[in-house]
Structure 1
Amino acid sequence: MIVLNILLQLCGGIGLFLLGMSLMTDSLKAIAGEALRQWLVRFMDSPLKAMFSGIIITIAVQSSTARTLATIGFVSAGILTFSNAIGVIIGANIGTTSTGWMVALLGLKFSISKIALPLVAIGAILKLLAKERLALMGMTIAGFGLLFFGIDVLQQAMAGVAASVDLSRWPTESLLSKLLLVLIDFVMTILLHSSSAAITATLAALASQAINLEQTLALVIGQNVGTVVTAVLAAVGATTSAKRTAAVHVIFNVVTAIFAFLLLLPGFLWAYQYIAFIHHLDPILIVAAFHTCFSLLGALIFMPFIGRFEQVLLRLLPEQENSLTRYLDDSLYSVPALAIAATERVLLQTLTDIYSLLIKFIRSEIITTMVNTNEMDATIKTVESYLERMSVPQSLSDQQRLILLLRLVVYIRVLRNDLQDVAQVELLKKQQILQELPLALVKHLERQIEYLQTTPFPKFPTDFVNDLIQLEQASNEQQEFLRQKIMHASVNHQLTASQTLDLLAAQRWIVHLIAHTQRVAVLLQQQDTIE
């Protein structure tokens, strides 16, 4: 009965910790999603900067997953080079160790559990009564409270384990017993699906003296290796960028674990035994330091060879996906700002492709039989499917951006349908009274393409959009006049009935095309958040 109670308490403590971590990271990602994206774009122009950025982002968001997902999306988009992405991943592995320090310095050192439940109450009140960022901050506070309440429950359970079973006497002299400890926490990390939960449970066990320092250090190595399984599972059936990112995780953690097992583990144990200053330190702090040194060791091993590392991975995992949709990765859904940004990029490029085709048709550089739009159609369908699977973001700004995205998809569909009747241009160009409108439209489309291809994307300037609005108004005003001209030519037998109908249809087509182009421009002027 006692064993069952301890087991239930252990499960409850881990569950509270995971729930608190989930609430905290999800709300922080919602608050900082856009800032996270902008940081990736602006502050990662070298592998070293990328590494430090990975450390800062992971500490701020308390989620190495958020960093990984951001990296996948922006590598595929071409905004972030893969060598810099490797730097981000290495940095995030270092940043992840901040959880161990937080637990060691706060969760196990101070009786923060006394204020944990009041924090949950404050967070819940803010979530219920406040809006936007303040409500998300409430979820962060509640998650923080649950996290430390879970640590307290976990520590109590580990004290019960220590009273019932003295695992600290488990022999660790042999290589086999050490490898077995690594394997135990490897499996534990996989089952918990969280390295943060695994390290917290391990530190709680050490604080309760259920295990000793040597066992704890071996378990930490196992936890770091166990995190690669999550990355591998996420990459199964995913994009090439996700597979490359998973490969970086696997190689980095496994190679670092080997060096840590052979060099770092014996070094720490020797220092703890023979250096008086270190021997008098709290073992929990020594474990937190070991965890950080583990990742720093990996950085020292891989950073000097990051260029060669990149070449090997690119050769082993060549790009296979469609050039436009390759970075619409399902894993980005957990950071809505990044999924939205990836979709925006695809849609802007698709819009550019449609405008480029229209310009070439109007200038007679190509004819309809020369164009295959199957890839464009497939891209639009992929984007629509990707958006259908995207859940509504918590952040109001992300919700607004998503709505604008959905509107942009509709307009792109309309423009794609306009492209089907582009042969009408030939009829317009043969009539002097009708050929001015398509030529005027070409000038505007060329200017739009210049803006669309700028990274980061600037919203359309007001004067440019106003010019397009004036062109639409002029085309509407001329429509009746031109219709009368066409009918007059038909009455005077200058046009056959069939030619008259074709010209009227061509006139409607160009007027509608100008109107649709103008609406897209107005939408992209409103979309301040596209960058």
Structure 2
Amino acid sequence: MIIMTEGLHALAGPAMRRALKTFTRSPYSGAATGAVCTAILQSSSATTVAAVGFVGAGLISFSGALGIIFGANIGTTITGWLVVLLGFKLKLGTLILPVIFLGAILKLFARKHLASLGLSMAGFGLIFVGITMMQQGMAGVENLLTPAQFPPDNFTGRLKLVALGILITVITQSSSAGVAAALTALYAGAVNFNQAAALVIGMDVGTTITALMATIGTSGGARRTGWAHVVYNLLTAIAALLLLTPYTWAWQYFAPGQLQVNGEIALVAFHTFFNGTGVLLVLPFSEHFARLMMKIVPDVSSPYTRQLETSLLSDPSIAVNAVFSSSQLQLIDLIIHIKRLLAQNLDASMSDLAALQTALAKTRSFVDRIHLEQTNQAEWSKLLAMIHFLDHLHRLHHRCDEEVFQVKSLVSLQQLANIRPDVLQHLESLVVHLQHERWHQAHQLARDLRLQLTEQLGPVRNKIMTDIALGKITVPRATEYMEALRWLQRITNHLARSVYHCREFSAQE
């Protein structure tokens, strides 16, 4: 399983990650995407850990990640079907050896995608060799290991077997491998159907440990995602325990004797059944579940930098996206800050400036720790766009340090009375475009604002100079006005450049 998963990650991992980011518009699409990605990658842990990372980076919302987690539980059942239909029914253990040989050759002598394909092929083949070996091993101990040696088939006994299933998955870090072992034990008669089913239920719970470990030291959103996986799988496990007896009754009623003859198929079907039922029941209540998890795992970190987790630095691509998400929020709030200043709402404007400045310092420090190879042109271009964006964001912060003095001068300047409302309207529209990530429209608007002010402020400057000559204002007062006009011009210039680099960043997605 490890070999195949590593090969599939190298071969299809980036595409799957893009799919997870793209197709999570709703919990329903997230569930479908999570199921497909898990079926392809053959690892629910890989899918859920990726979801935790995406939430931590701010690439997808918490509710979108919930759909991925729900769907991953369905996708992970595919391994059981492969084992039963190809391993037990077709007995591919010997026939698959040439596939393993070809995969090894590709891994040793091919490059890039072909080498990854070879590793996947070798891992895929080894699964069936392993199934054959487990069957052969079980054949020698059928008299030593029997259902009677496991906990009895009552509620307490089933709970003990669930605990054993959790332990097996925690140790192996693969619920799929554990399910294959349970299927082999059932096939050999070492356990009966109900005992094997209880083990599989426990293995489903045990697989949450990997996602939970991925949340250590992360943001509240990432921790919430990991714990949501745990809570959901616990609820599914409870439902599965309650459904186990009715499920066996249904088999005995509709297909008498088949539970013993085709117990492996019945077990895999039960695994798919309770996971599928859990997803169908929880999806309509995703929003309620999300609110519950927000109460259970609150996020008290700064909204500006909660995405900047040290764990993301291991994947520079996600780390760069996390910086962009954080910086985008800072830019929006800084524009709102400037808008309040120009609207003379000074008390409301002062509250977040210190937090914004602290967040910018932390963001720039985080970027210093991102190490990206120049070979990936798209990611390299995104990093450069991000560095330019942060530079103009820093200058924008710096200009806002002069805010109160400059704004008072602007407000008192009569020649700007007709211009200021239009500037405020432009800033309001700019915020809306940025919030909805309409980068092209936002850049067009910011550029138009800069060009418009350049044209409008020229006559204002000439009027100030004329007033000095006529003795209507003093030179020091005129200097204050001119500095205020320069402040406004620089603000709009840095806004236009910031949004331009935002657009360039998004163009590389």
- Counterpart pick for 2:438 among 457, 460, 466: 457
Check conservation: 1:483, 1:504, Cα contact below 8 A.
Answer: no
- Counterpart pick for 1:249 among 229, 244, 253: 229
Cα 1:205/1:509, change in 2 over 3 Å: same
- Counterpart pick for 2:496 among 494, 506, 518: 518
Cα 1:339/1:198, change in 2 over 3 Å: farther
3-state SS in 2 of match to 1:92: helix
Q: Which residue of 1 aligns with 2:265?
A: 285
Q: TM-score, normalised by structure 2?
A: 0.77
Q: Which residue of 2 aligns with 1:151?
A: 127
The Cα shift of 1:245 comes to 3.1
The Cα shift of 1:492 comes to 8.0
1:494 and 1:311 map into 2 onto residues whose CA distance is 60
Q: Which residue of 2 aligns with 1:345?
A: 325
Cα 1:429/1:120, change in 2 over 3 Å: farther
Q: Over residues 258-292 of structure 1, what are the superposed CA-to-partner deviations in whole Å (9 max), with x where a residue is unaligned?
A: 443454268449848973455544x5433322321
Fraction of identical pairs, as percent: 24
Amino acid at match of 1:112: I
Amino acid at match of 1:190: V
1:51 and 1:298 map into 2 onto residues whose CA distance is 12
2:239 and 2:447 map into 1 onto residues whose CA distance is 63
Cα 1:32/1:507, change in 2 over 3 Å: same
1:159 and 1:277 map into 2 onto residues whose CA distance is 21
- 1:380 aligned onto 2:342: no
The Cα shift of 1:157 comes to 4.9
3-state SS in 2 of match to 1:527: helix
Aligned length: 496
Q: Which residue of 2 aligns with 1:174?
A: 152
Cα 1:329/1:462, change in 2 over 3 Å: closer
3-state SS in 2 of match to 1:40: coil
2:361 and 2:328 map into 1 onto residues whose CA distance is 15
Amino acid at match of 1:38: T
Check conservation: 2:158, 2:198, Cα contact below 8 A.
Answer: yes
Q: Which residue of 1 aligns with 2:5?
A: 21
Amino acid at match of 1:348: Q
The Cα shift of 1:407 comes to 2.9
Amino acid at match of 1:467: D
Q: Which residue of 2 aligns with 1:407?
A: 388
Amino acid at match of 1:412: L
Cα 1:351/1:63, change in 2 over 3 Å: farther
Amino acid at match of 1:115: V
Q: Which residue of 2 aligns with 1:114?
A: 98
1:500-515 alignment, distance < 5 Å: 505-506=483-484, 508-515=486-493
- 1:427 aligned onto 2:409: yes
- 1:39 aligned onto 2:23: yes
Q: Which residue of 2 aligns with 1:418?
A: 399
Q: Over residues 317-363 of structure 1, what are the superposed CA-to-partner deviations in whole Å (9 max), with x where a residue is unaligned?
A: 44433344445566767887766555433322221211122223234
Q: Over residues 370-409 of structure 1, what are the superposed CA-to-partner deviations in whole Å (9 max), with x where a residue is unaligned?
A: 4441222233344445555656499754554344333322
1:433 and 1:308 map into 2 onto residues whose CA distance is 54
Cα 1:403/1:76, change in 2 over 3 Å: closer
1:89-100 alignment, distance < 5 Å: 89-100=69-80
Cα 1:503/1:294, change in 2 over 3 Å: same
Amino acid at match of 1:527: F
1:378 and 1:275 map into 2 onto residues whose CA distance is 69
Q: Which residue of 1 aligns with 2:117?
A: 141
Check conservation: 2:20, 2:33, Cα contact below 8 A.
Answer: no
Check conservation: 1:232, 1:243, Cα contact below 8 A.
Answer: yes
Q: Which residue of 2 aligns with 1:8?
A: none
Check conservation: 2:409, 2:484, Cα contact below 8 A.
Answer: yes
Q: Which residue of 1 aligns with 2:201?
A: 221
Check conservation: 2:100, 2:122, Cα contact below 8 A.
Answer: yes
3-state SS in 1 of match to 2:346: coil
Q: Over residues 213-251 of structure 1, what are the superposed CA-to-partner deviations in whole Å (9 max), with x where a residue is unaligned?
A: 545434322211212333333344443333443343333
- Counterpart pick for 2:448 among 448, 458, 467: 467
2:101 and 2:386 map into 1 onto residues whose CA distance is 40
Check conservation: 2:107, 2:116, Cα contact below 8 A.
Answer: yes
2:97 and 2:245 map into 1 onto residues whose CA distance is 32
Amino acid at match of 1:70: A
Amino acid at match of 2:429: R
3-state SS in 1 of match to 2:330: helix
1:74-85 alignment, distance < 5 Å: 82=63
- 1:198 aligned onto 2:175: no
1:308-327 alignment, distance < 5 Å: 309=289, 312-326=292-306
The Cα shift of 1:416 comes to 0.9
- 1:365 aligned onto 2:368: no
Amino acid at match of 2:81: W
The Cα shift of 1:452 comes to 0.8
The Cα shift of 1:509 comes to 3.5
Cα 1:261/1:180, change in 2 over 3 Å: same
1:470 and 1:307 map into 2 onto residues whose CA distance is 44
1:75 and 1:284 map into 2 onto residues whose CA distance is 39
Amino acid at match of 1:519: R
Cα 1:517/1:24, change in 2 over 3 Å: same
Greater mean deviation of Cα atoms: 142-151 or 305-314: 305-314
Cα 1:264/1:314, change in 2 over 3 Å: same
Amino acid at match of 2:499: A
Check conservation: 1:425, 1:506, Cα contact below 8 A.
Answer: yes
1:104 and 1:254 map into 2 onto residues whose CA distance is 26
1:105 and 1:95 map into 2 onto residues whose CA distance is 16
Cα 1:49/1:450, change in 2 over 3 Å: closer
Amino acid at match of 1:92: A
Cα 1:343/1:70, change in 2 over 3 Å: farther
1:460 and 1:305 map into 2 onto residues whose CA distance is 36
The Cα shift of 1:21 comes to 0.6
1:127 and 1:210 map into 2 onto residues whose CA distance is 44
Q: TM-score, normalised by structure 1?
A: 0.74
Cα 1:277/1:327, change in 2 over 3 Å: same
Cα 1:35/1:263, change in 2 over 3 Å: closer
The Cα shift of 1:51 comes to 4.1
Check conservation: 2:165, 2:199, Cα contact below 8 A.
Answer: yes
For the aligned residues, what is the CA RMSD?
A: 4.6
Q: Which residue of 2 aligns with 1:294?
A: 274
